Amino acid sequence: MANTSGAIMGTVLITGGTDGLGRAAAILLGQHGYRVFATGRNREHREVLDKIAIERSLSLETLELDVCDDGSVNAAVSEIEKRAGPVDILVNSAGIAIASVMEEITLDDLRKQYETNIFGLLRTTQRVLPKMRKRHRGRIVNMSSISGRIAMPLMGAYSSSKHAVEAISDAMRQELYPFNIAVILIEPGYIETSMNRTAAELSSAYAKGAEHSPYRGVYQAFLSNWQKTRKKSKYVPEDCARVILQAIEETPPRARYLVTSSAKTAAFMRRIMSDRAFDRSMIKRLGLDAVRDAIEKEAGQ
C-alpha cells in the first residue's frame, strides 16, 4: 500500500543503487517514504546521490558496498542495521555485462560476470535473510532481464548469469514461502543506462578484436541490431523504478514483472514458439543468413 502519511514504511537496501536502474529506484522509493540505503562502489556516484537526497528531502542515504567482497557486504549491512534496524526489502540491482561470442570470452571475464551477477546477489541475500526469517517478513527483489529468458549472440555469458538468477529466485520463492518472504524477479528489456556504457568498456577488447575474428560477421550483425534497439527504445530508468515500487507494494506480488513493451513481446513469442521457430526469427532479425553466405563464399575462394 502506498505511503500517504509520510511515515517511514520500511528499510530498503539497494545494491548497485547509486547509478542506473538502482538509482532511479532509490529516488522513487525515498519519495514514497521508505528509508532507503543506496549502495555502490563509486564514491562520486554516492556523493551525487547524497546531494539529490538533501535537495529533495528524501529518506535516502548512501553507503559503500562491493557485492563481490564478503567484508564489504557485512560491513554495509551491519551499518544499516545500526542506523535503521534489519533490512525489510532487498533490491539486488548490481550487475555487469560483457559482450562476446562464447568461444572467445575469457574464463576470467566469465567469472567476473558471475561474481557480480550471481555470487554477489547471493552473498547479499544470505546476509539479510536470517533476520527476515526471524521476523517472518521481507521481500527480495532480484533484477533479472529479458535476457534471463532469451539468449542471443554475444550475450550468452550475460544471459547465462541471468538464467541463474531466474532459477535461484524460483527456488527461493518456494523455500521462503513458509517464512512469509516474497522473492520477485524484475525483467527489463533495453533501457538506456550507464550500465550499457560500462558494458561497452568491459567488452572493448572483444569489439576491437572482432575485425580479425572468425565471428566478424556475427559481431557486426549484433552491433547493427543493438544500434537499432537503442534508437527505438523510449524507456528511461524511472519506468523500471515504478515497476519495482509496484512489486514491493503489491500483496501478494507476482513472481515476475516485465518492463518495456519489447520485453513483453519477446517473452510472449518465446513462450508460443518452438526452439526452431524462435532461432529462425532471431537469425532473420540479425541477418545471420547473409553472414553465413559470406563465410561460405570466403571459404570457397
Active-site residue set: 158
Pairing of strands 35-40, 11-15: parallel
Residues 6 or more apart whose Cβ sits within 8 Å of residue 87: 11, 12, 13, 77, 80, 81, 128, 131, 132, 138
Residue 101's nearest CA partner among 196, 215, 198 is 215
Q: Environment class of residue 5 by beta-carbon count within 10 Å: exposed (0-12), middle (13-18) or buried (19+)?
A: exposed
Pairing of strands 89-92, 138-143: parallel
Q: Which three cell numbers stand for residue 206?
A: 572483444
On whether the CB atoms of residues 12 and 91 are closer than 8 A, the answer is yes
Residue 154: HSE in the Cβ half-sphere, 13 Å Cα cutoff = 27
